[in-house]
Chain A
Amino acid sequence: MKFEAPHIEYDLLLPILIILAVAVLGVMVEAAVPRAQRYLVQVVLAAGGVVAALIAAIRVFGTINPTSDNPKLGRIVAEGALALDGPTLYSWIVILVLALLGVLLFAERQLDGGVTAFAGQASALPGTEAERQASAKGLEHTEVFPLLMFAVSGMLMFPAATDLLTLFVALEVLSLPLYLLCGLARRRRLLSQEAALKYFMLGAFSSGFFVYGIALVYGYAGSMSYDKIAFAIASGSKSDGLLLAGMGMLAVGLLFKVGAAPFHAWTPDVYQGAPTPVTAFMAAATKVAAFGALLRLFYVAFGGARWDWQPIFWAIAILTMVVGSVLALSQTDVKRLLAYSSIAHAGFLLTGFLGARDLAEIKAGDIDPVQAVLFYLTTYALTTMAAFAIVSLVRDGAGEATQISRWAGLGKESPLVAGSFAFLLLGMAGIPLTSGFTGKWAVFAAALSAGAWPIVIVAVLMSAVAAYFYVRIIVVMFFTDPIGEGPRVTVPSLLTSSVIGIGVAGTLVLGIVPGPLLDLIGRTAQFIR
């Protein structure tokens, strides 16, 4: 028997490898570097690693000539495990940019009296002497940076995976560090730990579905790889039961990650309980990675069975938009409200996802669904990241003041911060001249082009409902008188400020001149298999 070494394209996979190397190095830093220097070393290592990976990713993106009129399609690498095509490489760049912003938020120390937003000693029980000691000593968990890097490596693999096993590994690699990070809040630790446990339990449950789905699809197609599955569906001679059940279960796993109803139950609790930097990163980057994976799995592997999965996704998209928008109406906590808003946005993204059409129907220059969804993800991620960053600024003695009613009169005391937040909210509501509008336009146009007009009508009505709760926060901030002992806006360091600045600028620029980016995505938004 002859053994052949697998052929790995190290140069093309450099972004993932860099991130993984930085994560491993970060673990070693914890062991080798004295406590006092760890923070600085970890931050520099993580930020430097992400920047290096970003440069590498842009270089790889350059190899498919995205600026030419006819870019190359990309290639399958790592023995058929990963597909490096336009959507993958674009998602990589977005995820790495978000990771960089995430590192900046994680590193913020000025908001909470010179320490990060993470627990001083996660193993100390809340309310005990050990916890007080840890906090008195000013302990910090700098492990959050390697954890973040591990999560990022999973997110990079997730949209690129082109066989089910790689997909599952990526899912777990991205999820496990996030479960941990969610439980590490410095303030309100019980809530944070509860969130982590809930996220973990439900995540594990959905992973179970996912693995079962993989097994069933394997039983149907006799292979894990997307192209073989697509081929099996095209030849269409086998029993459909296995395929339908398998697709359904895989969908459950992925829809759980994107936070679509009825698999959304974890979202508000986790978004509320997790440390706000983690929430910000998770809300933005996980959505990008998960939608990337969802698009590839259902367009490439299950594209031939589109008429089988489309009806159920119609129902899920409508349900998600309604649940997200309507339940957000009664929320009293900013983070929970943004969580429900993220559910609603998952619904809008699914609207774009349902714009699937036969390639023959799409003319050159038309808005196609992959382009629309990737563009929406970019706009939404930047806006959300900045919005959560602003949430972390509004504080009182007990930490962040996330009760909406306590934000009363913020517009008078801190017009700049409140104005920025209002602008981001208007962006999420989809008011023109913000990126939220162009993004919405793109996904709705994609769906309407495919004839999905009932979904578009639900989507515009739900956008109007959503506008109400965004406006409600603006009313509280600007049109309500300040309460006496209200929270104050803490002046952040350059780290958080730059995240907010980038998010606001992105929301504005992509709202006014979305053309170049849309064209770039449009030229390269072709899956390969």
Chain B
Amino acid sequence: MNDFPWLSLLLFLPIVGAIVLVLLPASLGTLLPKQLALGTSVATLAVGIAMAANYDTDSSKVYQFAEQHEWIKSFGAHYALGVDGVGLTLVMLTVILAPVVMLASWNDGDQGRWSSKAFFAWMLALQGLAVGVFAATDVFLFYVFFEATLIPIYFLIGGYGGANRARAAVKFLLYSLLGGLVMLASVIGLYVESAKTDAGATYLVGELAQLDFGTATGRWLFLGFFIAFAIKAPMFPVHTWLPDTTAAATPGTSVLLVSVLDKIGTFGMIRFCLELFPEASRWATPAVVVFAVISIIYGALMAIGSDNIPRLIAYTSISHFGFIVLGIFVMNSQGLNGANLYMFNHGLSTAALFLVTGFLISRRGSALISDFGGVEKVAPVLAGFFLVAGLSSLSLPGLSPFVSEFLVIVGAFSYSEVAAAFAVTGIVLAAIYILFMYQRTMTGPTREEVSGFSDLNVREVASLAPVLLLIVVLGFFPKPLLSVINPAVDHTLQQVDKTDPPPSVDPLAPGTSGHSAEGSHE
């Protein structure tokens, strides 16, 4: 069954759905396109589940469900797909969240600049392209999908968001294009380097990973990729587009952007920065770790200071992405396992948070925390869902993000105690921004403006429930995910030529860098 082109099906099913949607005559009304879009994404989810069931965790192959066809010979580009554990989890995240988001944004497309048909068509197109990004095992193909995802999200933000949507869409697009073009220079550099070999130009990740680029070239190429991924992730100091964008976009768009597309950044760091440029990655580690820790703390502090709910969630994400990047660059199995797990879990918890606050905001017509108060008395189900989503975001034990955050911090400690000590403050700050937000919106005397709130309806509950269920289940039982991710992490560590330090706390043990030695002196 593994010869079946699972990934191509996952990639093209939603895109075909999007095209069909666009071609539907307007006379059919708004309901049919919505049902068709939801049906397509559910079908894609079914295909995704069937594929995941076929995934062999004991396989010795790095990439499963691999497909490979020559595409542009003179560029060395291939249409090559395949997933390892990391790719699989992110593909699954994409196909899980797409129907959830569509159900949750059922009516969000109605007040947009264009029809709701276009809204759902863009969403489907985005879903397909995102699968392509996570499944591409050819750098050129990856780049094509990486850039192509910008177009649907650009129109989703600019066409259907709030007051500042046009500005936000442009800011988002320009930041992303700048990063993408810097990466283009590195992508072309890979071509030039691989063309020098006897085998000729190639963009296949598996073949590029065998090349030795030399110290200087490798570092330059690494930088091109890393800058693009840091903008995408986003990391401090190239994060400013994210809060503006989420403040203007619809909740559904924000989910797809933050939960799915931003993962491309951290996914790319693992797949390309670490695996293709191991030497350069080790060289850059100290600086990256510093920026990651700054992101954690800065994002959390900004979240505490935000009165606008979507902006607050954006800042929490910057903080969480700091954790993910930290986990990636400490380069040990706990950190990387944690980071990979974190990508999936953060996707779920942020999706839940964006959607539930989206329901809240749409009832009040304002996104400011100070405009709410005492909602839990009029809409207890909403408040309950909000609380669970919030608690998952602050990594309460028993909910899935806890496992990943814990692993990242363990990994960080074995890399550098100082870095870990700073990172831990992020957890405390997370409790502050989430609980403060909950307290100020949900508790206290019910304000007059919110007294007429209706509680969540069936559709809203149905969209949120699967996400929260997953969060709880994976919080108690993360093993299925970890068993998929573990082999991928081992492969990555092999590529960067790092093995875990022995479990003793010996500052001079091989494999720990000078940093932890300094840390232990202090």
| Chain A residues within CB distance 8 Å of chain B | 363, 365-367, 371, 412, 426, 429-433, 437-438, 440-442, 444-445, 448-449, 453, 456-457, 460-461, 463-464, 467-468, 471-472, 475, 478-480, 513-515, 518-519, 522
Pairs A-B, 5 closest by C-beta atoms: A479-B166, A432-B144, A460-B181, A464-B178, A432-B147
Which residue, of A432, A440, A442, A448, has the highest number of chain B Cβ atoms within 10 A? Answer: A432
Asked if B461 CB lies within 8 Å of chain A CBs, one says no
Asked if B511 CB lies within 8 Å of chain A CBs, one says no
Asked if B418 CB lies within 8 Å of chain A CBs, one says no
Contact partner of B188 among A441, A463, A519, CB < 8 A? A441
Q: Is B73 within 8 A of A464, CB to CB?
A: no
Q: Is B170 within 8 A of A475, CB to CB?
A: yes
Contact flag A471-B174 (CB < 8 Å), given A441-B75, A444-B184, A463-B181: yes
Interface pairs (15), CB distance under 8 Å: A366-B201, A412-B113, A430-B181, A432-B143, A433-B144, A441-B188, A442-B75, A445-B192, A448-B185, A460-B185, A467-B181, A475-B169, A478-B155, A479-B159, A515-B74
Q: Which residue of B lies closest to A511 (CB)?
A: B144
Q: Is A445 within 8 A of B200, CB to CB?
A: no
Asked if B267 CB lies within 8 Å of chain A CBs, one says no
CA distance A430 to B177 in the complex (A): 10
Q: Is B195 within 8 A of A363, CB to CB?
A: yes
Please, how many residues of chain B have a CB less than 8 angstroms from a CB on the other chain? 36
Contact flag A448-B151 (CB < 8 Å), given A441-B75, A460-B182: no
Smallest CB separation, B483 vs chain A (Å): 35
Q: Which B residues touch A513, using CB under 8 A?
A: 72
Smallest CB separation, B156 vs chain A (Å): 12
Contact partner of B148 among A367, A431, A467, A480, CB < 8 A? A431
Asked if B402 CB lies within 8 Å of chain A CBs, one says no
Q: Is B158 within 8 A of A475, CB to CB?
A: yes
Which residue, of B148, B182, B184, has the highest number of chain A Cβ atoms within 10 A? Answer: B184
CA distance A464 to B178 in the complex (A): 5
Contact flag A457-B74 (CB < 8 Å), given A475-B166, A479-B165: no
Smallest CB separation, B112 vs chain A (Å): 11
Asked if B71 CB lies within 8 Å of chain A CBs, one says yes
Q: Which A residues touch B329, using CB under 8 A?
A: none
Contact partner of A365 among B74, B148, B181, B184, CB < 8 A? B74
Q: Which A residues touch B192, using CB under 8 A?
A: 445, 448-449
Q: Which B residues touch A519, using CB under 8 A?
A: 73-74
Asked if B191 CB lies within 8 Å of chain A CBs, one says yes
CA distance A479 to B145 in the complex (A): 24
Contact flag A471-B173 (CB < 8 Å), given A431-B147, A463-B181, A479-B159: yes
Asked if B501 CB lies within 8 Å of chain A CBs, one says no
Q: Which A residues touch B147, using CB under 8 A?
A: 431-432, 437
Asked if B189 CB lies within 8 Å of chain A CBs, one says yes
Smallest CB separation, B182 vs chain A (Å): 6
Smallest CB separation, B165 vs chain A (Å): 7
Q: Which residue of A lies closest to B189 (CB)?
A: A448
Q: Is A514 within 8 A of B185, CB to CB?
A: no
CA distance A448 to B194 in the complex (A): 12
Q: Which A residues touch B144, using CB under 8 A?
A: 432-433, 437
Which residue, of A363, A412, A480, has the highest number of chain B Cβ atoms within 10 A? Answer: A363
CA distance A461 to B188 in the complex (A): 14
CA distance A371 to B74 in the complex (A): 11
Contact flag A467-B174 (CB < 8 Å), given A412-B113, A449-B195, A479-B165: yes
CA distance A393 to B37 in the complex (A): 34
Q: Which residue of A lies closest to B183 (CB)?
A: A460
Contact flag A431-B151 (CB < 8 Å), given A438-B72, A441-B188: yes
CA distance A151 to B197 in the complex (A): 46
Q: Is A456 within 8 A of B74, CB to CB?
A: no
Smallest CB separation, A358 vs chain B (Å): 15
CA distance A158 to B145 in the complex (A): 40
Q: Is B73 within 8 A of A515, CB to CB?
A: yes
CA distance A449 to B200 in the complex (A): 13
Q: Which A residues touch B159, using CB under 8 A?
A: 478-479
Q: Which residue of B lies closest to A415 (CB)?
A: B114
Contact partner of A515 among B71, B191, B195, B200, CB < 8 A? B71
Q: Which B residues touch A412, using CB under 8 A?
A: 113-114
Q: Is A444 within 8 A of B185, CB to CB?
A: yes
Contact flag A456-B201 (CB < 8 Å), given A441-B75, A475-B158, A518-B74: no
